[in-house]
Amino acid sequence: MERTFIKDLAEHVGESVLIKGWVSVRRDQGKMVFFDFRDMTGTVQGLVTPGSAAITTAKETNRESVVAVTATVQARPEKNAQPGKTNGTIELLIEAIEILSPAAVVPFEVNEDTSGIGEETRLAHRYLDLRSERMQRNIRLRSELVRRCREYLFGEMFTEIETPLLTESTPEGSRDFVVPSRLHPGKFYALPQSPQQYKQLLMVGGFERYFQIARAIRDEDLRADRGFEHTQIDIEMSFVTQEDVMNTVEAMVTQAVEAMGYTVKEKPFPRFTYVEAMEKFGADKFDLRTEEDKQNGVLAYAWVHRFPFFEKTPEGGWTFTHNPFSMPIPEHIGQLLEKKDVGEILTTQYDLVCNGYEAGGGSIRAHKPEILRAVYETMGYSAEETEERIGHMLKAFEFGVPPHGGIALGVERLIMNLTGETQLREVQAFPMTRGGQTSVMKAPKELTGEQLAELGIQIKPKPAS
Ligand code: ASP
C-alpha cells in the first residue's frame, strides 16, 4: 500500500491507509491504547481496540519511535471530536503497527516548547530538538523565505553563483577562520567573512546580476544574535545606483514577507541618515514598532544611509566603518583622494534595519582603482601592503569594470524578525553553543600527530598564566 500523508487523511474516511511517522504520544489504558502520530505534514490520533492483533506491538511502541501504521480512517465519536483542529474529527482504527525504528527514552520532552531546556542538552541532541513544533516551524519558515527571495531574484534576471570557501581574507570587521594547507605547509586559507571580493570579480566577469545564498564565517564574539557562521542573501549588481539596489531589495523583501502573510509597517521603507538615526534613536539600528505592532507581528523595515566611511582606531589611525570596497558619496570622492577631513567623508553604505536589528547592509563599490587605493592609503597601508591585500582587485579593475554595488541580508536576522525569536540558534538547524562547540559533534577537536605532521604544524603548550 502507498503511504498517505497525515494531512490528507480526512479525504480517506472509511478507507484503509498506511501512514509513516513518529509516535508523539502513547496512552495505554489497559485494554485500549491511544496514540498521537505525526509526520512532516501533521498529527493524527489513533487507537488500538481490545482484541486487535496490534495490541501487543502497541504496548511495546515507545514514544518517538518511528512506525508504519496500517489503519482504517473513521469519524471520531461526536463527544471526542475537536472540529476546529486538523484531523480533529477523524481518528485511525489501527490494524497493524510496524516499528521501523524503536526510540530510547528521550532526554527531554519534544512535544513541548524546548526553549527552556539547557543549551548543552538541546544542542547535543539537536536532532530531537528539531522534532519540536517550534523548531520545525522556524526552519521551514527559513526555507520558505529563502525560496521566495530566490524566485524573486530569478524573475529579475539574476544568476545564482557559488564562490569559494577556501580563499583569501576578505575583511568585514572580524577575525578570519583559517585552514592550514597540506600542499603548502605553513600557509593558510581563510574562510570567507563574505563573498565580497568574488562577487565584485563576477561583475568584472560580466554577470551583471549575481546572487548567492552564501555562508559568511566570522571569528567574532558570540552573542545572542551572532554566531561564527551565518547565511546571507548576497547580491551584487552592475550599472546601478544606490537607489536601484535599495529598490530591488525592498521589492524582494516586501514581496516575500507579504506572500507569507506578514504586514510591513511602512512602504516604501522610511529612510534615515546616520546622523538622523543617532539623533532620534541614539543608535543605527532601532525599532519603529508600537506596542500594538509588536503584538501583531508587524515588520518595521527602515534604511539607514550616509554613514561615515572611516572611524578612528585605538592607535589613532583610520579604519573603515563598514566596507573598505565602498565608494564614498559622489560629493566626497575628491575629499578621499586628497585625504582631507577624513572623519567627515561619507560612504554610499546603506543598512536595512528591522524591528531593532540590522538585517543587512551594502554599498556602491569603488570600481576605480585610484579610489580603492586611496581608501587603503587612508587606512595607513603602504603601496606594497595595498598591493599584497588587494592587488588582484586593482588589477581586475584595469580591464573594464562596470560601476556596481550590492548588499548582503542576514538570513537568520530576517527569520528572527519573522518569528520574534531573539536567539540566532533558534533559527539555525545546527548552531554552535555559546562556548563555540558544534551541535551534536564535538568540534573543535585536536588533530592527530600524523595530521599535524602532514600540515607541518607544531602545537605549542599554552603558556602558564
Ligand atoms: N559584504 C557585504 C556587502 O555586500 C556586507 C556584509 O557582508 O555584511 O556589502
**pLDDT 10s digit of each residue in the chain, 465 long?**
899 999 999 999 999 999 999 999 999 999 999 999 999 999 999 999 999 999 999 999 999 999 999 999 999 988 888 888 889 999 999 999 999 999 999 999 999 999 999 999 999 999 999 999 999 999 999 999 999 999 999 999 999 999 999 999 877 778 999 999 999 999 999 999 999 999 999 999 999 999 999 999 999 888 877 889 999 999 999 999 999 999 999 999 999 999 999 999 999 999 999 999 999 999 999 999 999 999 999 999 999 999 999 999 999 999 999 999 999 999 999 999 999 999 999 999 999 999 999 999 999 999 999 999 999 999 999 999 999 999 999 999 999 999 999 999 999 999 999 999 999 999 999 999 988 999 999 999 999 999 999 999 999 988 876
d(CA 35, CA 360): 45
Contact 268, 254 (CB under 8 A): no
Distance 391 CA to ligand 1 centre (A): 20
Q: Which of 429, 460, 274, 445 is nearest to 351 (CA)?
A: 274
d(CA 117, CA 107): 10
d(CA 345, CA 334): 10
Distance 221 CA to ligand 1 centre (A): 18
Three-state SS letters, the chain: CCECCHHHHHHHCCCEEEEEEEEEEEEECCCCEEEEEEECCEEEEEEECCCCCCHHHHHHCCCCCEEEEEEEEEECCHHHCCCCCCCCCEEEEEEEEEEEECCCCCCCCCCCCCCCCCHHHHHHCHHHHCCCHHHHHHHHHHHHHHHHHHHHHHHCCCEECCCCCCECCCCCCCECCEEECCCCCCCEEECCCCCHHHHHHHHHCCCCEEEEEEEEECECCCECCECCEEEEEEEEEECCCHHHHHHHHHHHHHHHHHHCCCCECCCCCCEEEHHHHHHHHCCCCCCCCCHHHHHCCCECEEEEEEEECEEECCCCCEEECCCCCECECHHHHHHHHHCCCHHHCEEEEEEEEECCEEEEEEEEECCCHHHHHHHHHHCCCCHHHHHHHHHHHHHHHHHCCCCEEEEEEEHHHHHHHHHCCCCHHHCCCCCCCCCCCCCCCCCCCCCCHHHHHHHCCCCCCCCCC
* Chain centroid offset of residue 48 CA: 43
Which atom of ligand 1 approaches the CA of 323 most closely? 9
Residue 170's pLDDT is what?
76
The amino acid occupying position 15 is: E
In angstroms, how far is the first alpha carbon of the chain from the final one? 67
Which atom of ligand 1 approaches the CA of 235 most closely? 4
Which atom of ligand 1 approaches the CA of 325 most closely? 9
Which atom of ligand 1 approaches the CA of 195 most closely? 1
Give 1's contacts (C-beta < 8 A, 6+ positions apart): 16, 17, 18, 70
Peptide bond into 107 cis (omega under 30): no
Grid coordinates in use for 341? 577631513
Distance 346 CA to ligand 1 centre (A): 17
Distance 196 CA to ligand 1 centre (A): 6
d(CA 417, CA 412): 9
Q: Domains plus CATH for the chain?
A: 6-101 (2.40.50.140), 127-427 (3.30.930.10)
| pTM score of the predicted model | 0.94
The amino acid occupying position 45 is: Q
Pairing type for strands 90-101 and 66-75 reads antiparallel
Determine which residue's CA is closest to atom 4 belonging to ligand 1.
407
Q: Which of 69, 84, 86, 78 is nearest to 34 (CA)?
A: 69
Distance 157 CA to ligand 1 centre (A): 21
Distance 377 CA to ligand 1 centre (A): 21
d(CA 423, CA 219): 18
d(CA 307, CA 155): 31
CA–CA distance from 245 to each of 284, 365, 453 (Å)?
A: 20, 12, 49
Kindly list the protein residues whose Cβ atom lies closer than 6 A to any atom of ligand 1.
172, 194, 196, 216, 232, 323, 361-363, 406-408
Distance 129 CA to ligand 1 centre (A): 32
* Pocket residue to mutate for ligand 1, from 233, 407, 411, 413, most atoms within 8 A of Cβ: 407
Residue 193's pLDDT is what?
94
Which atom of ligand 1 approaches the CA of 362 most closely? 9
CA–CA distance from 385 to each of 85, 377, 390 (Å)?
A: 66, 10, 9
Beta partners for residue 167, in sequence order? 190
Which atom of ligand 1 approaches the CA of 410 most closely? 8
Which atom of ligand 1 approaches the CA of 199 most closely? 4
Residue 87's pLDDT is what?
94
Contact 408, 139 (CB under 8 A): no
Determine which residue's CA is closest to atom 1 belonging to ligand 1.
196
Q: Which of 21, 208, 206 is nearest to 99 (CA)?
A: 21
Distance 193 CA to ligand 1 centre (A): 9
